[in-house]
Amino acid sequence: MDEIRVLSPTAILGYGFPVASFEEGLRREPHVIAVDGGSTDPGPYYLGAGKSFTQRQAVKRDLELLIKAALDRRIPLIIGTAGGSGARPHVEWTWEIVEDILNETRQSASVAVIFSDVPKALIVEMIKQGRTSTCGPLEGLTPEVVAAASHVVAQMGVEPFIKALQAGADIILAGRAYDPAAFAALPIMRGFDAGLALHMGKILECAAIAAVPGSGSDCLFGRLQKDSFILEALNPARQCTEMSVAAHTLYEKSDPYLLPGPGGTLDLNSTKFRALPGGRVEVSGTRLVPTPTFTVKLEGARAIGFRTISIAGVRDPIMIDQIDSILAAVRQRVQDNFAELKDYFLQFRCYGKNGVMGDLEPTPNPGHELGIVIECVAESQEVANTICGFARSTLLHHGYPGRKSTAGNLAFPYSPSDFPAGEVFEFCVHHLMELDDPAEIFSMEWRVVK
């Protein structure tokens, strides 16, 4: 086989894609359709709560097209990080959609379901053996932190996907996965260069974001050859350029030349990008450098309380000029009124005055209006509601020098003004764990729909 062709329909399953772009990709006769189903980008809530950040109707729409295309052409459909975060609840949620589609359309398929949940007892044993390490700013992993996490998943590499492909899966539905793995598994199984396959997967997993203009809701096509791969946008309104593909290679990387993953690091020091006719780009020179031990990244989230928010606008230039002292006074008033309540967190985000970057804002001058988000996180929803509501009402009527009216200081776009947001989670596990076998902790179930 001289080349292997991979069709990436969308950046995340449920983000959608134009049918015309998808059909253009099918005309190029892909050997596999692969799609990323999730990300940690939306934060820890979805992993902790076991819920998807994509909507069922949107995911089902995408899957109806993908499943039909794959089964009609007898090529595999590979889904990584199912349901947004890839824990068992997310995988099962996605499986229910897949099963519904197969039953409704009377299609048969052999589905390999791969779980990435890691037993907590195993992690604790690995901690005792010194086989876990830090990955980022968190401290070393402890049994107490593991116990507090509601779900802990590991990022699988290509190996569990390859096992499912070798066993004849029509559809692979996987839990948390290294983003490029779903795209690189078939090429690596077929003997293509692992470094190039993973680099191509790194770009394909975000689909047409790597094109100009970029979009997470459009398709991208990859052709992996012996010494290079070629990327092509499938919508005539977009094209790949050397700059866009190189820029996306830098996406979500702390080092411009090295990209670590399960079992190895992509070395981009010798990578070259070359423009081809028709808005295509050829990439070559990427190498995979194996690590001495095979490690996977663990991800876990724990509950820390409940949140309530209130959103308001400020237009008075006199108030805007004094907003820091006003908010400090409101905070003090809340503390005085609820001296018995200690375990809560209250903050004000002022959009229009350092709302995005906070103290790192290089141009701190306030605008002519502010959007203020009042947020409280507390041990119970009742306490969060109480503190946020009191802070909101205090700010609404707070007097300040130069105020000409005794009416409210805030404009509320919604009624009710306060929004109980439910449980709050934080990432507590973001560590590496050694494995003897790259596939040993990833259990697989076969689900056949006839």
**Pairing between strand 171-174 and 77-80?**
parallel
Instruction: Write down the domain spans for the chain.
Output: 4-300+429-449, 316-410
Confidence of residue 251 (pLDDT cuts 50, 70, 90): confident
pLDDT at 76 over 90: yes
Residue 197 contacts residue 5 (beta carbons within 8 Å): no
Confidence of residue 280 (pLDDT cuts 50, 70, 90): very high
Q: What is the pLDDT of residue 352?
A: 93
pLDDT at 49 over 80: yes
Of the chain, the percentage scoring pLDDT greater than 90 comes to 92
pLDDT at 291 over 80: yes
State mean pLDDT over 378-405.
95
Which secondary-structure segment (H or E) carries 375? strand 370-378
**Which of 23-27, 228-232, 253-257, 309-313 is the least confident region?**
253-257
pLDDT at 357 over 90: no
**Which of 106-120, 319-333, 360-374 is the least confident region?**
360-374
Contacts of 94 (CB under 8 A, 6+ apart): 13, 37, 52, 59, 79, 82, 83, 173
Confidence of residue 287 (pLDDT cuts 50, 70, 90): very high
pLDDT at 229 over 80: yes
pLDDT at 252 over 90: no
Residue 413 corresponds to which tokens in the numbers above?
């776009």
Residue-averaged pLDDT of the chain: 96
Supply the pTM of this predicted model: 0.94
Separation of alpha carbons 6 and 27, rounded Å: 12
Q: What is the pLDDT of residue 178?
A: 97
State mean pLDDT over 275-292.
97
Q: Residues 87, 145, 431, CA angle at the centre, nearest 5°?
A: 65
pLDDT tens, 318-355? Answer: 999 999 999 999 999 999 999 999 899 999 999 999 88
Separation of alpha carbons 318 and 316, rounded Å: 5
Confidence of residue 143 (pLDDT cuts 50, 70, 90): very high
Q: What is the pLDDT of residue 1?
A: 80
State mean pLDDT over 81-92.
98
The residues with which 430 forms a beta bridge, in sequence order, are: 299
